[in-house]
């Protein structure tokens, strides 16, 4: 792969220790990092529309290949202008390979060296996914960035399971790397290895040798402690090229985001902010709390006085508590807007701290609230 072949260019704008602020450019345009990607599982972030995401300033949204290939089908999405035409979202879209969802099915999955056979969670029909097919499906979906098919293991896992995951992921990555995909569509490899440091480093080296457009770090935030994640993350990043994006998959809690940015991660995705919102948990500059708490009954303050989102600009804690308690669907939407605004602003503040050379101070502030 020559430099001209790279479909995700990276410009490093500033560094502060290992933390960095970059600009990633693809065929669609550019976006700044660190970058948090809201998760739009079935082509939409739950309770929100594309216009909401654009108003929030979300530069990249993640869509789920597994669900979209089953409903409505990749061919349908392709016929409607790809994921952008289908969803109406104008920003970047990253699609996962579907591997995590497939392996989450447990006993209903048959894995071999060639690929994976699984049953649809919708109708029980049988499907086959190989590394090449995962690339082809994501090509139909029209993502700006797609991920290779990998083997993700839940933690804790025994040494033999982690070894097999690393070897199969590396073999599948090589096949995906040479599969045909649309011009300009970036392809990211994925590092596995659980919390085994030697396997992590090996997997990172084998993946980097294939010269992908960027690198996902998978198989973390799946049952291990934060300290276990941090212990293997730094050495893993050290094996990945500095001129490509580095993406920590499935991490979105404030402390985890901050610690990972400090180690040099560029991109993140997680369902946590939106899932918490639907269950009435609010993320604020002073920590998290439950909107259903009786103390909010007549509280006329916004969710977070320091937040500039549309929810905080207009609605009180008392009103939002009322909507949540009576199960009004608007509650989930308004709380989701706020939680995503909080998370996106947090990541923007981490970038600003890198640029100003004050990352250590900002890290300490975040960890004091989110220990």
Q: What is the pLDDT of residue 185?
A: 97
Please give the helix or strand (H or E) that residue 188 lies within, else none: strand 186-191
Domain boundary among 245, 270, 295: 270
Summary mean pLDDT of the chain:
96
The whole-angstrom separation of Cα 317 and Cα 147 is 40
| 2, pLDDT greater than 60 | no
- How does DSSP assign 19-58, residue by residue? EEEEEEEETTEEEEESEEE-EETTSS-TT--HHHHHHHT-
Instruction: Name the pLDDT band for 5 (thresholds 50, 70, 90).
Output: low
The answer to whether residues 255 and 325 belong to one domain is: no
Domain boundary among 217, 247, 270: 270
Instruction: Name the pLDDT band for 104 (thresholds 50, 70, 90).
Output: confident
Residue 80 domain-assigned?
yes
The answer to whether residues 327 and 248 belong to one domain is: no
Domain boundary among 270, 301, 325: 270
Please identify every residue annotated as catalytic: 96, 269
The answer to whether residues 213 and 301 belong to one domain is: no
Residue 160 domain-assigned?
yes
Residue 235 domain-assigned?
yes
Please give the helix or strand (H or E) that residue 271 lies within, else none: none
The answer to whether residues 262 and 283 belong to one domain is: no
The answer to whether residues 339 and 253 belong to one domain is: no
- pLDDT tens, residue by residue, 23-45: 999 999 999 999 999 999 999 99
The answer to whether residues 160 and 193 belong to one domain is: yes
- pLDDT tens, residue by residue, 270-316: 999 999 999 999 999 999 999 999 999 999 999 999 999 999 999 99
Residue 2 domain-assigned?
no
The answer to whether residues 49 and 164 belong to one domain is: yes
| 191, pLDDT greater than 50 | yes
Residue of 44, 48, 47, 22 lying closest to 35 (CA atoms): 22
Structural domain total, the chain: 2
Q: Which DSSP category does 18 fall into?
A: T
| 98, pLDDT greater than 90 | no
Residue 251 domain-assigned?
yes
The answer to whether residues 170 and 286 belong to one domain is: no
- Residues 83 and 40: beta-carbon distance below 8 Å: no
- Could you give the residue ranges of the DSSP H alpha helices within the chain? 50-56, 65-70, 74-79, 82-87, 99-104, 131-141, 159-177, 197-208, 226-238, 254-263, 272-278, 310-314, 317-325, 329-356, 359-369
The whole-angstrom separation of Cα 182 and Cα 233 is 31
Query: Mean pLDDT across the stretch 77-100?
Result: 96
The answer to whether residues 144 and 247 belong to one domain is: yes
Q: What is the pLDDT of residue 1?
A: 38
Residue of 187, 160, 348 lying closest to 268 (CA atoms): 348
The answer to whether residues 160 and 231 belong to one domain is: yes
CATH of the domain at 191: 3.20.20.105
Q: What is the pLDDT of residue 154?
A: 81
Residue 3 domain-assigned?
no
The answer to whether residues 209 and 295 belong to one domain is: no
| 3, pLDDT greater than 50 | no
The answer to whether residues 224 and 295 belong to one domain is: no
- pLDDT tens, residue by residue, 126-154: 999 999 999 999 999 999 999 999 998 88
Tell me which residue range forms the domain holding 321. 271-371
């Amino acid at each position: 792969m020559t430099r001209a072949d790279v479909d995700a260019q990276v410009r490093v704008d500033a560094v502060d220790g290992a933390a960095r602020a970059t600009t990633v450019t693809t065929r669609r345009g550019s976006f700044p990092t660190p970058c948090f990607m809201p998760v739009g599982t079935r082509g939409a972030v739950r309770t929100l529309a594309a216009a909401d995401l654009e108003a929030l300033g979300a530069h990249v949204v993640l869509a789920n290949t597994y669900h979209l290939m089953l409903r409505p089908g990749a061919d349908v999405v392709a016929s409607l202008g790809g994921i952008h035409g289908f969803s109406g979202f104008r920003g970047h879209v990253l699609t996962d390979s579907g591997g995590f969802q497939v392996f989450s099915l447990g006993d209903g999955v048959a894995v071999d060296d060639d690929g994976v056979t699984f049953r649809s969670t919708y109708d029980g029909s049988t499907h086959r996914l190989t590394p090449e097919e995962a690339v082809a499906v994501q090509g139909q979906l029209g993502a700006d960035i797609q991920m290779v098919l990998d083997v993700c293991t839940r933690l804790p896992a025994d040494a033999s399971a982690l070894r097999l995951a690393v070897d199969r992921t590396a073999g599948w990555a090589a096949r995906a790397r040479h599969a045909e995909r649309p011009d300009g569509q970036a392809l990211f490899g994925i590092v596995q290895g659980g919390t085994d440091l030697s396997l992590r480093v090996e997997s990172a080296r084998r993946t980097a040798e294939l010269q992908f457009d960027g690198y996902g770090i998978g198989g973390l935030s799946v049952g291990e402690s934060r300290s276990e994640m941090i212990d293997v993350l730094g050495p893993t990043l050290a094996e990945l090229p500095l001129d490509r994006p580095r993406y920590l998959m499935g991490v979105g809690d404030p402390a985890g985001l901050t610690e990972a940015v400090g180690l040099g991660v560029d991109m993140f995705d997680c369902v946590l902010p939106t899932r918490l919102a639907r269950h009435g948990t609010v993320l604020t500059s002073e920590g998290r709390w439950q909107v259903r708490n009786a103390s909010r009954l007549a509280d006329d303050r916004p969710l977070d006085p320091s937040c500039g989102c549309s929810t905080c600009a207009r609605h009180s804690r008392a009103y939002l508590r009322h909507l949540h308690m009576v199960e009004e669907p608007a509650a989930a939407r308004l709380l989701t807007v706020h939680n995503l605004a909080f998370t996106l602003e947090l990541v923007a503040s981490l970038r600003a701290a890198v640029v100003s050379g004050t990352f250590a101070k900002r890290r300490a502030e975040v960890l004091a609230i989110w220990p």
